[in-house]
Amino acid sequence: MTQKNFTTRKIVIIGMMTAVASVVYYLDFPIPGIMPSFIKLDFSNVISLLAGFAMGPVEGVIVCLLKNLIHLLIKGFGTTMGIGDIFDFVTSAFFVLVSATIYRRKKTKKGAIFATFVGMLGFTFISLPLNYFIVYPIYFKAFGGEETVLKAYQAIMPGVDNTFMALCLFNLPFTFVKGLLCSLITIFVYKPLSPIIKSSKS
């Protein structure tokens, strides 16, 4: 991090956006009847995407990282060893890194749409193996086994009888919709907000 790339003003802007992202992250909410209550929707990726588009992919990822570190420090690791925040960081950082890198090469509205679309697809599909091989095995140990976790899905759709099915029918579409909503909001608000964020470069 050189002085040229990370001015004091830019660091302040990153800190401010991290604070906003952290607050938005805490405003997550469940979607009863559609997803199990332990899965919640939040729009903190909008803030990270804005940072990535305005300042660069590295800055966007930094906002993701700091947001999750703050959440971990406040909430603690708990019985799941902070796996939810680690998962959120990996998927969100991938989303922001891909989107902001593509957008940097073509800074137009069409470029932003294409960038977030590609990032959203990656965000969605990397969530499946991460959940299946890492996140949910930890949840099973923390919450009393696979059967206990599956009951939350079966309360909504009784025919779900294994973890892979649950992830494909519930988590994958949910992650796609979450990514889509964050992308749409980012594209809608980026233009009026970008002059404020870009002033960090001065």
Cα–Cα dist 114/116, whole Å:
6
Residues of the chain with pLDDT under 70: 1-5, 199-202
Would you state the pLDDT for residue 6?
A: 75
Nearby residues of 89 by Cβ (< 8 Å), 6 or more positions away: 64, 65, 68
Predicted TM-score (pTM) of this structure = 0.93
> pLDDT of 125-179, one tens digit each?
999 999 999 999 999 999 989 999 999 999 999 999 999 999 999 999 999 999 9
Nearby residues of 39 by Cβ (< 8 Å), 6 or more positions away: 30, 31, 170, 171, 174
Residue type, position 149, single letter: V
Would you state the pLDDT for residue 200?
A: 52
CA dist 74 → 18, 26, 53, 113 (Å): 14, 11, 28, 35
Would you state the pLDDT for residue 199?
A: 66
Domain segments of the chain: what residues? 8-201
CA dihedral 89, 92, 95, 97 (to 10 degrees): -50
8-201 is classed in which CATH architecture?
Orthogonal Bundle (1.10)
